Amino acid sequence: MKPFDNYEISGCQRLDDAGTPDPNGSITVTCDDDEAEFWTLYGHVQGVRVEALGDYSSREAAEEVYQCITGQPFPNLYESDPHIRRMHLAAEAFALLERAASELEIWQMSCGPEGDPDTQAILGEIRHLFARAAGDGSDEPAPSRDIAITWSVEDVLEIRPDLSEVQAIQVLQWAKRKHDATIGINWEVLACHAEFLFGDAPATPLRLT
């Protein structure tokens, strides 16, 4: 059985045998929203079938169900959405990705004991994606491939309250300029930079404004 390749939401009303609107009528027809008694979500398979999936008291309720099915808001256009096509290709895409990951694993073996860092990071993201698809991992995205540790003006003033905010910014800029990856930035490093730029801290420091 082919999956739905499109969806439609239409306002509907019931008619009696004479074609007059009747909430208890036996005939259901589509209509404009301002005449609708309820809204129906339809699934389409182009050239094969149209199937009513459910009736809802409002268009918004029908759109919420559509979003639950497809993972995206209703597009308000009667067209085959690329997102739906990608959904149907997911199984093929995952199979291809699994083959590519296997080839990358083999290639990694030729890159020494540690392998290539960028490739290793990509493989980690792929494994995380497979775990999410299998329901064995968190729905959160894979951890970032970059990290950043932030030092602020307040941190500088914590160790050198005698400095002004402008001077504290200069200390941070100097620390960035003179950054040594083997040491990093810590309280002692900031204190040394502050001392280099503005001299020793006073015995009883006063906070400048």
* pLDDT tens digits, 1-16: 778 888 889 999 999 9
Tell me, what's the pLDDT at 85? Answer: 77
**pLDDT higher than threshold 60 for residue 209:** no
DSSP state of 40: E
Residue 128 falls in which region: left (phi positive, over 0), alpha (psi -120 to 50) or beta: alpha
- For the segment 127-148, the average pLDDT, to the nearest whole number, is 70
Could you tell me the residue range of the domain that residue 57 belongs to? Answer: 6-78
Reduced to 3 states, what is the DSSP secondary structure of residue 39? strand
Tell me, what's the pLDDT at 125? Answer: 85
Top pLDDT among 97 and 140 is at 97
Would 171 be classed as within a structural domain? yes
- Is there a single domain that holds both residue 123 and residue 157? no
pLDDT tens digits for 87-125?
778 888 888 988 888 888 888 777 776 677 788 888 888
Top pLDDT among 13 and 143 is at 13
| Structural domain count, the chain | 3
Top pLDDT among 108 and 26 is at 26
- Is there a single domain that holds both residue 14 and residue 63? yes
Strands 27-31 and 6-15: antiparallel
Separation of alpha carbons 118 and 80, rounded Å: 37
Tell me, what's the pLDDT at 158? Answer: 94
Tell me, what's the pLDDT at 28? Answer: 92
**pLDDT higher than threshold 80 for residue 208:** no
Would 141 be classed as within a structural domain? no
Tell me, what's the pLDDT at 29? Answer: 94
DSSP H helices, the chain, are: 59-70, 82-88, 90-108, 117-133, 153-159, 165-177, 187-198
